[in-house]
Structure 1
Amino acid sequence: MTIARRRFLTGVAALASAPLALPAQTFAPVMEPQVVALRHPLPPGEVHVFPDHFRLYWTLPEGRAWVYPIRVGRDDLYEAGEFYVGAKKEWPSWMPTPGMIEREPEIYSQYAEDGMEGGPGNPLGARALYLFQEGRGDTFLRIHGTNDPNSIGRAVSNGCAGLTNAHIVKLYDQVPLNTRVILYPKMGSSAFTAG
């Protein structure tokens, strides 16, 4: 492991253990996106997901960031790591992964052949940012919308980070292709896959 990579992973662990925003935020299930001052400055133009706080930060210059409430992947379906936005789609179509079909065939097998066209009832919601990694390509992880605002603030998805449809529309317009995305490990997890 290179020294730079070790420093990066050490920094990730430190950031993951403490909330980023000043003043200390209360983590209500739903809130409106807002600009906050960061306790630990991050490079501007990046997405940082803190799963234990159910928050996504879109970083800005001068140590500030937009903060969005999110839901995250449940149990071991959440995958920490470094990614980049490899594709963006409005009202994306959706196809369950083989793992989703294997875990819950009663829910997902009906969509195995044709998936679902984009639209209000689609699980990816109004917009989706597709997460890729170097050498791996599409990871099948997404930052996407949801029609279920009650799921925000919970670990309930099949691995993706979800925002309300209104919030993902705003974030989608802010985040360009090739944006760096960091999904921090859940507390107590030593798993981190750097791309």
Structure 2
Amino acid sequence: MASGLFHGPRSTGLHAGLIVAVPGFLLGLWPACHRALDPFIQILRPVSPLAWMPLALYTFRDSTVSTIFIIFICAVWPMLISTATGTASVRAEWLNVSRVFGLPRLEHVTRVVFPASVPMILSGMRISIGIAWFVIVAAEMVGAQSGIGYFIWNEWNNLQIASMIVAIVLVGGIGLALDILLKRIGESLSFRE
């Protein structure tokens, strides 16, 4: 019944968002790059993912590809911004210690900057997965022929309220489980002081 955020073609949208958000790490390392790209990010970020749906359906002419695009467009911004913010806000004393020890640039990034950025990166992922899970249900109601959103809409059309409520509770339970999982991963990867 549930399409799943990490299974099937719709997970492609979340994975694509994660891949595109990785350069947010570079935005945090190079403030000039961040200043140059920030206006474009701030123009695209507030547009509702569902506002993109008609354009996606017109462009791709395929409901599955359109749903993947919608999930991507809603997932990328929180991850990108959190990654850039986390990278840019690493404590100055940690950066200074790295410089004093003369760590090469790659080692400086992998041993100091990235581990210190992990909590913010995972916070962005938690937000993105929550939004993507919300949007996948709505996108499947509008343009898909399968998935949990389609199931809920179909049950509504058939006046099967009990099944619809069970599906809604299932969506909430899966969202909670994903959030708890990412929170625990973040706690296990964070620096301990």
- TM tier, smaller: under 0.3
TM-score by length of 2: 0.24
The structure with the larger Rg is 2
Richer in strand (by share): 1
Richer in helix (by share): 2
